[in-house]
Amino acid sequence: MTLPDLDPAQPLCVPAPAKINLFLHIVGRRPDGYHLLQTAFRMLDWGDEITLQRRDDGLILRTSDVPGVPAESDLVVRAARALQAASGSRFGADIGVLKRIPMGGGLGGGSSDAASVLLALNRLWGCGLSRQALQDLGLKLGADVPFFIFGETAFAEGVGEALRPLAVPPAWYVVVAPPVSVPTAEIFSAKELTRDTEILIMQGFAAHKTRNDMQAVVCVKYPEVAESLEWLSQYGDARMSGSGACLFAPFDTEGQARQVAASVPLGWKVWVARGLDRHPLKDWVAD
């Protein structure tokens, strides 16, 4: 597929979709303490937006304010610097981030922002890194980054970097954010977390026999999550995404999903989104 050239003089606006983990099993632990997972990642047609403008002076600047995230630790800035170092590019970029995905929500916002920056700058700077090279670079920034660069619904193993395409039926999702943020590291380090779920065979696994192994731990530590889960479970098969705090439930039609979302209790954020089979920037990089 040939893509039209980008005009480097113009700002480029790209999406950074949210993800949900349809299930998440913890099956072991690496010697460095990182957990071995089996999970199914699915993107949503809703998320953040990143604006990029190429610079000729090599500087990487964040042009928008992200409350609680200083520019130097923002994954968009770190992703751009990592690509600069790996490719030797002399270019820089102004990077704006429109955050919609709640932080510490288990929806992979920071990882998706980083992946979109890698995919877009690889093209805007003409670096020519392959998909696998970008995935390897992304893994150093966060465990969920390789999935977004892989760019389609995936069965993932390892720490989330060993990815295979997974076919899942179309669905609309209600996503609820309780008024709390859950730090991923705190849940992975919890004593009560089980780390010995039996390994699944990807072919023909039964979705109803899966779960999110972090959900019970998060529900005890954060009663707001338990309360939101109980509320959403009245209407569908509700589950937590990633390390929380967000919950989701699938529905066949947009109408059903919107009806549920309309009755969400005051103070909780809610979104309706469709499962997205391909990342909008998937074709921006060659395999």
Ligand X SMILES: C[C@](O)(CO)[C@H](O)COP(=O)(O)OP(=O)(O)OC[C@H]1O[C@@H](n2ccc(N)nc2=O)[C@H](O)[C@@H]1O
Ligand Y SMILES: Nc1ncnc2c1ncn2[C@@H]1O[C@H](COP(=O)(O)OP(=O)(O)OP(=O)(O)O)[C@@H](O)[C@H]1O
Using CB under 6 A as the binding criterion, the count of chain residues that bind ligand X stands at 19
Strands 92-98 and 60-62, how do they pair?
parallel
What Cα–Cα distance (Å) separates residue 208 from each residue in 197, 211, 271?
15, 8, 24
Phi and psi, residue 72, nearest 5°? -65, -25
> Which is closer to ligand X, CB of 242 or CB of 250?
242
Q: Between 74 and 152, name the residue whose CB sits nearer to ligand Y.
A: 74
Out of 19, 48, 99, 213, which one is annotated catalytic?
Answer: 19
**3 state SS of 219:** helix
Asked if 22 and 173 count as a contact pair (C-beta separation under 8 A), the reply is no
Minimal CB distance to ligand Y: which residue? Answer: 110
Catalytic residue among 48, 74, 113, 144: 144
Residue 199 has φ and ψ, to the nearest 5°, of: -70, 130
Using N-to-C axis directions, what is the helix angle for 131-139 and 75-87, rounded to 10°?
130
Residues 104-143 that bind ligand X (CB under 6 A): 108, 111, 142-143
| Residue 111 labelled as part of a binding site | yes
Instruction: Give residues 186-215 in contact with ligand X (rule: CB under 6 A).
Output: 188
> Using CB distances below 5 to 8 A depending on partner kind, what does residue 34 bind out of ligand X, ligand Y, none?
ligand X
214 labelled ligand-binding: no
CA distance 286 to 254: 34
Using alpha carbons, select from 269, 15, 37 the residue that is nearest to residue 144.
Answer: 37
Give, as ranges, the residues between 11 and 30 that touch ligand X (CB under 6 A).
21, 24
Q: Are 226 and 180 in contact (CB under 8 A)?
A: no
Tell me the per-residue interface mask from 115 to 154 with ligand Y, x by CB under 6 A, - otherwise. -----------------------------x----------
Q: What is the chain's percent helix, strand, coil content, to nearest 5? A: 30, 30, 40
Residue from 27, 86, 103, 180 touching ligand Y (CB under 6 A): that is 103
DSSP state of 186: H
Note the Cα 252 to chain centre separation in Å.
Answer: 23
185 binds, among ligand Y, ligand X, none (CB under 5 to 8 A by kind): ligand X
160 binds ligand X (CB under 6 A): yes
Residues lying near ligand X in the complex (CB under 6 A) are found at: 21, 24, 33-35, 37, 39, 108, 111, 142-144, 159-160, 184-185, 188, 242-243
Residues known to be catalytic: 19, 144
Residues lying near ligand Y in the complex (CB under 6 A) are found at: 69, 73-76, 97, 101, 103-111, 113, 144, 184, 242-243
